[in-house]
Structure 1
Amino acid sequence: MHVRWLTAFLDFPAAEFGSEVTFWRAISGSTVSPPRGPSKEFASLDPFNGDAHLRVQRIAAGPGGTHLDMHVDDPASAALEAVALGAREIADYGTHRVMASPAGGRFCLVEWAGEKRRSRPIRWPGGTISIIDQICYDVPAAKFDAELAFWTALTGQDAPGDVDRHTLTRDPDLSLQVLLVRSDNASGATYLDVAASNLPVEVERHEDWGATVVERRHDQVVMADPTGRRYFISARNPRTGA
């Protein structure tokens, strides 16, 4: 499968949609595209340079979440390949296929529309540089090895790392990198990760927009946005993701 582009999709309940879009637009330094879709439920968070790699969706039911869109030439044939590798097809909407990985991680296969220009990190007042550049799958420990094998086969990317954390080798032409983390939780979860040059300053900027600190780690802070959605801010190079 030739993955042409990656997009992180934020799925928001209708009651939270407006405030959530405002928060994520602000911390990513984006503008919001005109809405699209049958019920005007989709929009892109357009960066000031490059092609969009963050999108939002208003959902009718459920708590929402985060999922990955993989942009390919032919979603139908890509879905067959993914199923052969162990994925499960959840829905076929014609324009895109909703899939689940062997461990249950949600992703969609969508038709590539020519996206190719990676956005650059933003230098904020105060000097910190940051960008949302990573999507993290927390994978239950018992399913981790199978999940790692699935993602490396599906994308054709290696996954160097230690026992518990593997980042798929980043294609310099793609907007996001994918991180798999072995988890003690019985069910998986998906999070966005912000790379920041100055962790304390970046955390303060997010707090100013209504986020709260959940946990401080050595080189990472677990955050909750104003409605409680968790995400990470990491001390990584915003230009390379390392």
Structure 2
Amino acid sequence: MHVEWLTAYLDFPAPDFGSEVTFWRAISGSTVSPPRGENQEFATLEPFNGDAHLRVQRVDDGPGGIHLDIHVGDPVAASAEAVALGASLIADYATHCVLRSPGGGVFCLVPDGGEHTRARPIRWPGGTISIIDQICFDVPSRLFDAEVAFWEALTGHPMPGRGDPDRVGLTRNPALALQVLLVRSEVAEPATYLEVAATDLAEEIERHEDWGAAVVARCVDRVMMADPTGRHYFISQRNPRTGA
């Protein structure tokens, strides 16, 4: 399966939709497209340059979450390939398919829309440079090896050398705006998070706190944050241009 583009979809419960869109628009430095969909439930966070890789959706049921859209030439054929490799088909909408990976990550296979230009990171007042560039699947330990094998087989991208066997990224295509990272976790249920790459961790945290986020946990070069409604995400000190 040839991956043309990757998009992270932020799914918000209806009561939180407006405030959540405002927060994520602000920290990503984006504008918001006009709403679309039968019930005006979709919108795109438009970068100031390049093609969009972040979209938002209002959901009527459940707490929402984050899922990955994989843009391909033929979603139906790609769905059959994914199922043969161990994914579960959740829904087939003819134009796109919703699936669950062996490790529990939800993703959609959608038609290629012609996106090909990666957005550039933003330099903020004070000099910090940042971009939302990574989607992380927290995978229960018992399912981790199967999850790694699934994504490697599905995308055809051999995994890079594993400096950390518990944090495995798909081979990063420099043309894509998002990196996929698989993280071995002791959680009982899988979870999905977005991650921001920043040149200055302290300044980036302060900027997010100004918009209502809060620090949940700290590591040396990575911080778990909670947005104003409690949704967790990460900020890490990495090169925003390369992801390294």
1:115 aligns to what SS in structure 2?
A: coil
- Write the distance in 2 (CA, Å) between the matches of 1:130 and 1:121: 5
- Write the distance in 2 (CA, Å) between the matches of 1:89 and 1:172: 29
Q: Name the counterpart of 1:156.
A: 156
TM-score w.r.t. structure 1 length?
Answer: 0.99
Q: Name the counterpart of 1:35.
A: 35
Q: Name the counterpart of 1:219.
A: 221
Shift of 1:18: 0.1
1:68 aligns to what SS in structure 2?
A: strand
Q: Does 1:4 align with 2:4?
A: yes
1:227 aligns to what SS in structure 2?
A: coil
Q: Does 1:177 align with 2:175?
A: no
Shift of 1:92: 1.0
- Whichever residue aligns with residue 112 of structure 1, its letter is D
Aligned length: 242
Q: Name the counterpart of 2:198.
A: 196
Shift of 1:159: 2.1
1:126 aligns to what SS in structure 2?
A: coil
- Whichever residue aligns with residue 236 of structure 1, its letter is R
- Whichever residue aligns with residue 181 of structure 1, its letter is V
Q: Name the counterpart of 1:187.
A: 189
Give per-residue Cα distances to partners, 1:146-194, cap 9 Å, x unaligned.
0000001111112232221101110111110000000011111000000
Q: Name the counterpart of 2:141.
A: 141
Q: Name the counterpart of 2:47.
A: 47
Give per-residue Cα distances to partners, 1:54-99, cap 9 Å, x unaligned.
0000001100000000000010000000001000110012221000
Give per-residue Cα distances to partners, 1:13-67, cap 9 Å, x unaligned.
0000000000000000000001111111000000000000000000011000000
Q: Runs in 1 of length 4+ with deviation above 6 angstroms?
A: none
- Write the distance in 1 (CA, Å) between the matches of 2:153 and 2:242: 23
Percent sequence identity is: 72
Deviates more, 1:152-161 or 1:99-108: 152-161
Shift of 1:220: 0.3
- Write the distance in 1 (CA, Å) between the matches of 2:17 and 2:197: 25
1:78 aligns to what SS in structure 2?
A: helix
Q: Does 1:70 align with 2:70?
A: yes
2:16 aligns to what SS in structure 1?
A: helix
Shift of 1:104: 1.2
- Write the distance in 1 (CA, Å) between the matches of 2:78 and 2:37: 23
2:67 aligns to what SS in structure 1?
A: strand
- Whichever residue aligns with residue 145 of structure 1, its letter is D
Q: Name the counterpart of 2:82.
A: 82
- Write the distance in 1 (CA, Å) between the matches of 2:126 and 2:37: 38
1:38 aligns to what SS in structure 2?
A: coil
The CA RMSD measured in Å over matched residues stands at 0.6
- Whichever residue aligns with residue 76 of structure 1, its letter is V
1:104 aligns to what SS in structure 2?
A: coil
Q: Name the counterpart of 2:22.
A: 22
- Write the distance in 2 (CA, Å) between the matches of 1:204 and 1:172: 29
- Write the distance in 2 (CA, Å) between the matches of 1:156 and 1:173: 16
- Whichever residue aligns with residue 22 of structure 1, its letter is T
Deviates more, 1:107-116 or 1:160-169: 160-169
2:154 aligns to what SS in structure 1?
A: helix
